[in-house]
């Protein structure tokens, strides 16, 4: 069995879920992790710089878990050495810089995968499986109501990801981008968007509340109703971060805050649709590990990999259209 030597950069809050995922994959050997504060790195060889780590570990794959303004330099260092990389989202602070990141990886011929893990949450994979089985029939609409309840007051986000407070683009650039990608995974390509965004918490720089309406090329519609200040009914509000309704001609599939799926056939009673919801102690039902498993399988078996950097640009073009729609107060069409 081939093994991959994996190294990473960034030992902040979210890196724990990346490390948990890598440690659960037998084909992976963790060979190093870099952070300017080496004391944050636990259970793996620590390095004070990415350059030193790349030179000494000879990694087969690098996992980048740092803030977006650092990604271009780090991905350039990987590309120069011909090392494939998985990079956390947001891919870059701006669309133009994200395009540069992707172009440099393309020129170097190195794989770049965006760590967009929400489509790997078990409930969305199960929804996709049911769609593929034609259980819902022709899809009419999808709606997600985001309510993580972590955005109130002057200390909002400071305990986990304090840089959230300073992001001038926040709700969409940092959070709703997950559902832009997931909606495309479930519903297909987006034809147009209409958005209304606003800031409620004065302690942060960016927007934290908003509505985004999607027109899909199939003729279906979508609604993202985002509010980071309030919570929803759930034992752990961060497990699903909200609730979803996926509607088709055959019925409605509903996701609740405890990651249960409920199926209501047209004109019939609603019953629970049982499936494997993933581990309770891992972020998003183990979605980080599921994405990482997918990338490892792709590299070892030379199979296709979802969310390459080039493919992910479609999400960022939709993000730009969302901000433009809100600023101009009109529906914005996406270029074919």
pLDDT per residue as tens digits for the range 56-87: 999 999 999 999 999 999 999 999 999 999 99
Number of domains in the chain: 2
pLDDT of 24 higher than 80: yes
How many angstroms separate the Cα of 219 from the Cα of each of 129, 143, 191, 222, 262? 21, 15, 9, 10, 24
pLDDT of residue 87: 97
pLDDT of residue 2: 85
Closest C-alpha among 60, 114, 101 to residue 84: 60
Tell me, yes or no, whether 109 and 130 share the same domain.
no
Residue range of the domain that includes 36? 4-115+289-305
Closest C-alpha among 263, 264, 270, 266 to residue 249: 266
- Please, which residues have CB within 8 angstroms of residue 145's CB and are 6 or more apart in sequence? 225, 232, 242, 243, 244
Assigned domain for 321 exists: yes
Tell me, yes or no, whether 140 and 242 share the same domain.
yes
The SS3 assignment for 110 reads coil
Lowest mean pLDDT, pick from 117-131, 174-188, 228-242, 297-311: 297-311
How many angstroms separate the Cα of 93 from the Cα of each of 72, 80, 90, 210, 285? 10, 22, 7, 20, 28
Tell me, yes or no, whether 73 and 127 share the same domain.
no
pLDDT of 173 higher than 70: yes
Tell me, yes or no, whether 17 and 65 share the same domain.
yes
Closest C-alpha among 56, 106, 36, 16 to residue 309: 106
Average pLDDT, the chain: 96
pLDDT category at 323 given cuts 50, 70, 90 is: very high
pLDDT of 194 higher than 70: yes
Tell me, yes or no, whether 19 and 71 share the same domain.
yes
Tell me, yes or no, whether 298 and 260 share the same domain.
no
The SS3 assignment for 108 reads helix
Assigned domain for 281 exists: no
Query: What is the rounded CA–CA span in Å between residue 49 and residue 54?
Result: 9
pLDDT category at 302 given cuts 50, 70, 90 is: confident
Assigned domain for 255 exists: yes
Tell me, yes or no, whether 132 and 251 share the same domain.
yes
Tell me, yes or no, whether 111 and 123 share the same domain.
no
CATH number at residue 329: 3.30.360.10
How many angstroms separate the Cα of 222 from the Cα of each of 142, 275, 328, 333? 5, 25, 20, 15
Tokens linked to 52: 């030193």
Tell me, yes or no, whether 130 and 236 share the same domain.
yes
pLDDT of residue 208: 98
How many angstroms separate the Cα of 303 from the Cα of each of 79, 294, 295, 300, 306? 21, 9, 9, 8, 10
Tokens linked to 221: 């519609």
Contact between 149 and 230 under an 8 Å Cβ cutoff? The reply is: yes
Assigned domain for 184 exists: yes
Tell me, yes or no, whether 44 and 173 share the same domain.
no
Question: Which residue do the tokens 């809050």 mark?
Answer: 13
Assigned domain for 221 exists: yes
Tell me, yes or no, whether 38 and 107 share the same domain.
yes
CATH number at residue 51: 3.40.50.720
pLDDT of residue 1: 52
Assigned domain for 284 exists: no
Mean pLDDT value of segment 220-227: 98
Cβ burial, residue 99 (10 Å; 0-12/13-18/19+): middle
Assigned domain for 310 exists: no
pLDDT category at 303 given cuts 50, 70, 90 is: confident
Per residue in 259-270, pLDDT tens? 999 999 999 999
- The whole-model pTM stands at 0.95
The SS3 assignment for 102 reads helix
pLDDT of residue 335: 83
The SS3 assignment for 100 reads helix
Query: What is the rounded CA–CA span in Å between residue 101 and residue 111?
Result: 12
Assigned domain for 196 exists: yes
pLDDT category at 178 given cuts 50, 70, 90 is: very high
Tell me, yes or no, whether 33 and 87 share the same domain.
yes
């Amino acid at each position: 069995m081939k093994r991959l030597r994996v190294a990473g950069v960034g030992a902040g809050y979210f890196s724990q879920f990346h490390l948990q995922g890598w440690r659960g994959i037998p084909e992976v050997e963790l060979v190093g992790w870099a952070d300017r504060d080496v004391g944050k790195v636990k259970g793996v060889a620590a390095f004070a710089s990415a350059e030193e780590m790349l030179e000494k570990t000879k990694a087969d794959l690098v996992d980048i878990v740092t803030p977006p303004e650092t990604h271009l330099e780090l991905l350039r260092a990987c590309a120069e050495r011909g090392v494939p990389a998985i990079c956390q989202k947001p891919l870059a602070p701006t669309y133009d810089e994200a395009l540069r990141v992707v172009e440099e990886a393309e020129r170097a011929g190195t794989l770049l995968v965006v760590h967009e893990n929400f489509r790997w949450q078990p409930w969305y994979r199960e929804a996709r499986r049911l769609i593929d089985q034609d259980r819902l029939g022709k899809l009419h609409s999808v709606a997600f109501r985001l309510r993580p309840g972590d955005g109130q007051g002057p200390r909002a986000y400071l305990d986990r990801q304090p840089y959230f407070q300073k992001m001038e683009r926040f709700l969409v650039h940092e959070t709703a981008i997950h559902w832009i990608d997931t909606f495309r995974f479930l519903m297909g390509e987006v034809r147009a968007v209409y958005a209304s965004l606003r800031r409620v918490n004065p302690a942060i720089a960016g927007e934290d509340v908003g509505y985004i309406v999607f027109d899909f090329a199939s003729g279906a519609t979508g609604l993202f109703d985002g509010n980071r200040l309030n919570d929803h009914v759930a034992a752990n509000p961060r497990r699903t971060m909200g609730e979803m309704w996926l509607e088709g001609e055959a019925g409605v599939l509903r996701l609740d805050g405890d990651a249960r799926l409920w199926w209501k056939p047209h004109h019939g009673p609603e019953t629970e649709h049982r499936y494997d919801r993933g581990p309770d102690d891992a972020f998003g039902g183990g979605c980080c590990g599921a994405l990482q498993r997918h990338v490892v399988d792709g590299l070892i078996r030379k199979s296709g990999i979802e969310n390459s950097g080039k493919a992910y640009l479609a999400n960022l073009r939709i993000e730009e259209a969302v901000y433009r729609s809100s600023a101009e107060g009109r529906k914005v069409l996406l270029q074919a």
